[in-house]
């Protein structure tokens, strides 16, 4: 028998009843594996004697543990440590389904939304000319890992692993405010900023707040489907205006506003998705003026502002918006790595407050650890150093990739060298069927999108985005060589 007299010590002066103390200590002995599953406990009389306690106290403790499922009583042979432990011994309902897996179809009807159906292009191993993703090999992983380590070890865990502010980590919001004011001439404080999960969540929250069924949202043709889907999901009617080599055709928008009320205009001024062109200052000012005149909200998605190569970036519309008509959205996912879902929304305080209330019923709050880590990287300068390095690398890859396309694929595709961003918008020769080409390339070890998702209804652009940023120059050479082989034969 175990040395219970040594293992168990009862404090008779303690506030907790003696039988509860005993039950607790027996529970610990079971939990620590000292009393093992199936092991027999001493009889109540025997244990009472050993511990110099009343037998009634022992019985009360055993009863407690029997009720809780730690012990089990076998008729005529005594009390045993129950097997298995309570965690894995549930009461059944008597009607469990046996031997078959959950059905594929539910027992109730539900409406599947066609506007949400969109293929998911996952990048596998091998070469890739993606949608315009960053090179994760450049990401400041060491610095992030260090910041994560310090978060795990730092301060009062009850506080920083508990529930936090739905608007996001304060340090990051303050650092971001400084960064945005400095690089984009915004005039924010931390109270104007909500940290979202990527720019997608910013668009989702703004759509939910702003759009009611039947209202009009205007986007460029063609536009990013992630934004379109959100506007449609909110019930808005989606209208388009043309996009030319300078981006959104603001005069077409002006005409549209004459004909019907517009609630929201979505714009990716720097650089238009998918065609990569930059909206110039005069169009930006005109857009702001139209917004004033017609009362529509501008949802400015400046996901690519960090990456501009030719001349200088153009300041956001939000920097010249004295009346608060712009909701400004940005992302750090492209600056670090897509897996780090960090974006931000900049708006008037009351708008941020309401967006935070909406976000609270979606995911309660952001990723406390990641937000803290990125906040640290901004504070100690690592983020600025990383952005500068990434900028230079992508610029040189952009130049190199464009020169490769020109020399190796002239005649098979047309493109305008982008002012910035992480991808080239390439229009393939009508002789080349892009869907087929993408399939053949996949077999050769190169993944890229067939661009079908960019086609407006009834039009075939035969164009796609070829992202250069995530590939080294050698990988770009290999990718272009595969394309050349398939196209030129």
Q: What are phi and psi of 217, to 5 degrees?
A: -115, 135
Q: For the CB of residue 230, give the shortest distance to a copy of itself in the complex, in Å.
A: 5
Q: For the CB of residue 275, give the shortest distance to a copy of itself in the complex, in Å.
A: 20
Residue in 358, 416, 453, 461 binding a copy of itself, rule: CB under 8 A: 358
Asked whether the beta carbons of 168 and 366 are under 8 A apart, the reply is yes
Q: How far apart are CA 64 and CA 55, in angstroms?
A: 14
- Which range, of 53-61, 196-204, 238-246, 253-261, touches a copy of itself by CB under 8 A? 196-204
Concatenate the DSSP letters of all residues of 264-299 into one string.
EEEE-TBS-TTT-PBPPHHHHHHHHHHHHHH-PEEE
- Cα atoms in the 13 Å half-sphere on the side-chain side of 253: 31
Residue 388 or 459 having the CB closest to a copy of itself: 388
CA dihedral defined by 459, 217, 285, 456, rounded to 10 degrees?
A: -10
89 is an interface residue for a copy of itself by CB under 8 A: yes
Q: For the CB of residue 240, give the shortest distance to a copy of itself in the complex, in Å.
A: 19
Q: Tell me which DSSP letter residue 309 carries.
A: -
- Long-range CB contacts (< 8 A, 24+ apart) of 93-98? none
Q: How far apart are CA 220 and CA 217, in angstroms?
A: 10
Encoding tokens for residue 472?
């080294």
Residue in 2, 7, 59, 123 binding a copy of itself, rule: CB under 8 A: 123
Residue 34 or 116 having the CB closest to a copy of itself: 116
Residues that contact a copy of itself, how many (by CB under 8 A): 154
Residue in 171, 209, 254, 435 binding a copy of itself, rule: CB under 8 A: 209
> Binding to a copy of itself (CB under 8 A): which residues in 140-169?
141, 144-145, 148-149, 152, 156-166
Residue in 38, 83, 85, 436 binding a copy of itself, rule: CB under 8 A: 85
SS3 assignment, position 218: strand
Residue in 44, 57, 79, 192 binding a copy of itself, rule: CB under 8 A: 192
- Which range, of 37-45, 215-223, 363-371, 453-461, touches a copy of itself by CB under 8 A? 363-371
Encoding tokens for residue 323?
């009346």
One character per residue 227-246, x = contact with a copy of itself (rule: CB under 8 A): --xx--x-------------
Q: For the CB of residue 162, give the shortest distance to a copy of itself in the complex, in Å.
A: 5
348 is an interface residue for a copy of itself by CB under 8 A: yes
Looking at the DSSP assignment, which residues form a beta bridge with residue 464? 426
- Which range, of 5-13, 15-23, 38-46, 421-429, touches a copy of itself by CB under 8 A? 15-23
Residue 255 or 363 having the CB closest to a copy of itself: 363
- Which range, of 41-49, 55-63, 109-117, 434-442, touches a copy of itself by CB under 8 A? 109-117
439 is an interface residue for a copy of itself by CB under 8 A: no
Asked whether the beta carbons of 199 and 301 are under 8 A apart, the reply is yes
Of the candidates 314, 305, 310, 303, the residue with the CA atom closest to the CA atom of residue 266: 303
Looking at the DSSP assignment, which residues form a beta bridge with residue 36? none
Residue in 78, 242, 261, 324 binding a copy of itself, rule: CB under 8 A: 324
- Cα atoms in the 13 Å half-sphere on the side-chain side of 136: 8
Q: How far apart are CA 164 and CA 171, in angstroms?
A: 13
Q: For the CB of residue 360, give the shortest distance to a copy of itself in the complex, in Å.
A: 7
**Residue 432: Cβ within 10 Å count:** 14
474 is an interface residue for a copy of itself by CB under 8 A: no
Residue in 5, 40, 45, 69 binding a copy of itself, rule: CB under 8 A: 69
Encoding tokens for residue 378?
């901004």
> Binding to a copy of itself (CB under 8 A): which residues in 255-314?
281, 284-285, 288, 292, 295-297, 306, 308-314
Residue 175 or 462 having the CB closest to a copy of itself: 175
Q: What are phi and psi of 172, to 5 degrees?
A: -65, -40
Q: How far apart are CA 302 and CA 329, in angstroms?
A: 6
Q: For the CB of residue 17, give the shortest distance to a copy of itself in the complex, in Å.
A: 6
Q: How far apart are CA 400 and CA 197, in angstroms?
A: 33
Q: How far apart are CA 18 and CA 21, in angstroms?
A: 5
Residue 169 or 462 having the CB closest to a copy of itself: 169
1 is an interface residue for a copy of itself by CB under 8 A: no
Q: What are phi and psi of 129, to 5 degrees?
A: -120, 90
> Binding to a copy of itself (CB under 8 A): which residues in 373-402?
387-389, 391-392, 395-396, 399-400
38 is an interface residue for a copy of itself by CB under 8 A: no
Q: For the CB of residue 470, give the shortest distance to a copy of itself in the complex, in Å.
A: 7
Asked whether the beta carbons of 201 and 364 are under 8 A apart, the reply is no
Q: For the CB of residue 405, give the shortest distance to a copy of itself in the complex, in Å.
A: 11
Residue 420 or 462 having the CB closest to a copy of itself: 420
Q: What are phi and psi of 24, to 5 degrees?
A: -60, -45
Biggest alpha carbon–alpha carbon distance for the chain: 98
Q: How far apart are CA 354 and CA 9, in angstroms?
A: 56
């Amino acid at each position: 028998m175990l040395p219970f007299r040594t293992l168990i010590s009862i404090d008779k002066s303690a506030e907790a009843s003696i039988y509860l103390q005993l039950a607790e200590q027996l529970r610990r002995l079971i939990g620590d594996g000292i009393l093992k599953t199936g092991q027999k406990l001493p009889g109540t009389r025997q244990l009472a004697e050993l511990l110099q306690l009343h037998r009634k106290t022992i019985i009360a403790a055993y009863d407690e543990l029997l009720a809780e499922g730690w012990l089990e009583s076998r008729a005529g042979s005594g009390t045993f440590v129950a097997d298995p432990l309570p965690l894995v011994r549930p009461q059944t309902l008597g009607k469990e389904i046996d031997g078959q897996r959950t059905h594929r179809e539910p027992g109730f009807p539900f409406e599947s939304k066609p506007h949400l159906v969109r293929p998911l292009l996952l990048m596998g191993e091998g070469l890739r000319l993606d949608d315009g993703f960053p090179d994760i090999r450049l990401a400041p992983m060491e610095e992030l890992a260090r910041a994560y380590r310090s978060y795990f070890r730092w301060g009062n865990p009850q506080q920083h692993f508990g529930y936090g502010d739905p608007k996001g980590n304060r340090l990051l919001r303050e650092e971001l405010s400084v960064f945005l004011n400095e690089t984009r001439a915004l005039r924010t404080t931390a109270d104007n900023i909500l940290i979202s999960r990527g720019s997608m969540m910013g668009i989702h929250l703004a759509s939910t707040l702003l759009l009611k069924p039947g209202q009009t949202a205007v986007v460029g043709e063609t536009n990013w489907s992630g934004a379109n889907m959100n506007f449609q999901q909110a019930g808005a009617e989606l209208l388009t205006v043309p996009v030319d080599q300078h981006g959104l055709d603001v005069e077409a928008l002006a005409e549209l506003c004459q004909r019907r009320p517009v609630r929201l205009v979505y714009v990716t001024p720097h650089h238009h998705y998918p065609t990569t062109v930059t909206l110039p200052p005069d169009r930006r000012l005109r857009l702001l003026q139209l917004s004033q005149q017609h009362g529509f909200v501008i949802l400015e998605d400046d996901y690519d502002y960090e990456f501009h190569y030719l001349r200088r970036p153009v300041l956001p519309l939000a920097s010249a918006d004295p009346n608060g008509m712009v909701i400004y959205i940005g992302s750090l996912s492209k600056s670090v790595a897509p897996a780090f879902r960090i974006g931000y929304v900049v708006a008037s305080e009351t708008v941020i407050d309401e967006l935070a209330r909406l976000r609270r019923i979606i995911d309660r709050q952001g990723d406390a650890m990641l937000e803290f880590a990125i906040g640290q990287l901004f504070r100690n300068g690592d983020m600025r150093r990383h952005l500068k390095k990434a900028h230079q690398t992508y610029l040189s890859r952009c130049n190199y990739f464009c020169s490769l396309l020109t020399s190796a694929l002239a005649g098979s595709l047309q493109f305008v060298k982008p002012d910035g961003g992480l991808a080239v918008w390439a229009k393939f020769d009508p002789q080349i069927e892009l869907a087929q080409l993408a399939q053949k390339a996949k077999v050769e070890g190169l993944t890229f999108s067939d661009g079908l998702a960019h086609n407006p209804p009834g039009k075939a652009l035969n164009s796609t985005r070829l992202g250069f940023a995530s590939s080294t120059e050698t990988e770009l050479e290999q990718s272009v060589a595969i394309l050349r082989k398939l196209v030129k034969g």
